[in-house]
Structures are given as structure tokens and as C-alpha cells.
Structure 1
Amino acid sequence: MNKSIILIAFFLLISCNNKDEKTPISVDKTVTKISGKELFEGKGNCIACHQAEQKIIGPSIQEIAKIYKEKNASIVSFLREESEPIIDPTKYDIMKTNFTITKSMNDEELKALENYIFSFSKNNN
């Protein structure tokens, strides 16, 4: 009787441990996309100086998008303070105070912000 139980347990163990059968890996595909609009209006506080269609303290979002697209320039590089201002260098000193905020953003956040700004381009090529 003991040998029968051991033999049955052995076969059950082998049948449950089939190495040819792969266990599916669970992947969480619910990655939260960062909203460029939320960053622009919230964490980045960009809206304090930039409006969609009109210049306030800084250029309008449409103007930023237009010029950066025309020059094939990177908004991300500018926000990291890795490139020179190309729109209104006279306002650069005002913008410099915000680099503390933008430099604390990760690559995904900066790219989301750039994409949001480019969404205001009338020529979305």
C-alpha cells in the first residue's frame, strides 16, 4: 500500500511538472500615459506664461510649436537647458527660473510636454 501511494504521488508530481509546457507570464499593460496637458497646466506651471494662441509673458504655444517644427528643434533639449532659446532670447532669463522644474522631469514627462506643445502646430506633419 505504501509503495502504491508513493508511486501515485510520484506520477502526479511528474505530470504537474511538465517542462515542455510554459507558464504564461503576466504582463501589466495598463501603463499610465503621462498627460502633456496636465504637466503643462500643473507640475510644469507653463500655463502661467504661455497661452494657446496669444503671447502673455512668453510666446504662445502655437508660436512655440510652429518655430520648433520649422527649425526641426527639440523642445526637450531646451527644457533640459541643453540648447539655446530660438524664439525670444530676450525672455530667456525669465524662463531660466523654470528650468528647476523642467530638469526635475523625467524623459517621459518631457516628451509628453513636447508632444502636447507640438499638438498646437497648425501643420502637424
Structure 2
Amino acid sequence: MKKVTLLLCLFVFSFLVSCGGKEEQKLDEIPKATETVEQPIVDNSKIELGEEIFEGKGTCVACHKPNIKVVGPSLHNIATIYKEKNASIVTFLKGEGEAIVDPAQFEVMKANFAITKTMSDEELQALEAYIYSFL
């Protein structure tokens, strides 16, 4: 019985020692976040201007809400799809891009190009920043 207990103890000890070494190797292989990840700089004043335009002269709030589809897609949905496709919201708002989020609603949105085409690039970029703030 003593031999079995001794063998069992040796086996458990060997197992624990060998597992510990593998964990250390895995930790060494993990890249440090500061070496590979850059954080984007968020311009809050641009987002605030975008929100003001969205809720005011842009009349966007009539059809778009942050997290639910009303007439048009949600801001979160718009931001997600434009980011995934690396597309430009500004180009679309200028009437120069395709509808990629909800093409079936394009005709409804097209009426609003009369408003968005009069906006400056700064205002359109602010709207884009505001929409991306919902990611």
C-alpha cells in the first residue's frame, strides 16, 4: 500500500511540475497589447457637433435611433456595417455612394440628400463621427 501511495504522489508531483512549465511558455508567447494595439483618438467636439446636426437640421432623428430600426436602420447597425466594409458614410451622405446597409430604404433616404448635400465636409464628418460613436 505504501508503494502505491508513493507512486501516486510521484505521479501527481510530476504532472504538476510538467503542467506549470507549459503555462509559463504560453504566457511568454502572448504579445503585449502596447506593442501592437493603437488606440484611436476620439474627438468629442466632433461627436457633439454630429449629435447636434443629427437631432437638428439634419432631421436624421426622425428615421434613425441608436439601437433600434425605425424607418431607417439603427445607428449601431449603420456604424457596424460601414466599419466592416471600410466604406465612407460621408460619401454616401453626399449622394455619391451606394446604399450598403438597407438598400430597400434607399428611396426614402434619397429625399434627405437635399439636406445633406448642403452640409460642409466638417458637418458630414461630424455626423460620421457621431454615428461611429455607437459601436
TM over 0.5: yes
Asked if 1:36 corresponds to 2:50, the answer is yes
- Give the match for residue 13 of structure 1: none
Residue 78 of structure 1 pairs with residue 92 of structure 2: yes
* 1:52-72 superposed Cα distances (whole Å, 9 cap, x missing partner): 000000000000000000101
Q: Give the corresponding residue for 2:107.
A: 93
Q: CA RMSD in A?
A: 1.3
Counterparts of 2:57 and 2:106, CA distance in 1 = 20
TM superposition shift of 1:41: 0.4
Matching residue's letter, 1:90: A
- Deviation of the 1:89 alpha carbon: 0.7
Runs of 4+ in 1 over 3 A off after TM superposition: none
C-alpha offsets along residues 27-54 of structure 1, whole Å, 9 cap, x if unaligned?
xxxxx86710000000101000000000
Any stretches of 5+ residues in structure 1 without a counterpart?
Answer: 1-31
Task: Give distance in 1, aligned partners of 2:97 and 2:60.
Answer: 18
Structure 2 alignment gaps of length 5 or more: 1-44
For residues 82 and 110 of structure 2, what CA distance do their matches in structure 1 show? 18
Q: In the alignment, which residue of structure 2 is the partner of 1:49?
A: 63
The answer for the alignment partner of 1:65 in structure 2 is: 79
What is the letter of the counterpart of residue 129 of structure 2?
A: N
Q: Residues of 2 paired with 1:106 and 1:58: CA distance? A: 23
Kindly provide the amino acid, as one letter, of the partner of residue 119 in structure 2. Answer: M
Q: Which amino acid aligns with 1:60?
A: S
Q: Determine which structure has the larger helix proportion and give its number.
A: 2
Residue 77 of structure 1: how far off its partner (Å)? 0.2
- TM-score normalised according to structure 1 size: 0.70
* CA displacement at 1:78 relative to structure 2: 0.2
Task: Supply the AA of the counterpart residue of 1:68.
Answer: Y
Which amino acid is 1:78 matched to? F
* Mapped partners of 1:36, 1:81: distance in 2: 18
Mapping for residues 18-33 of structure 1, pairs under 5 Å: none
TM-score if structure 2 supplies the norm length? 0.65
- Give distance in 1, aligned partners of 2:97 and 2:67: 24
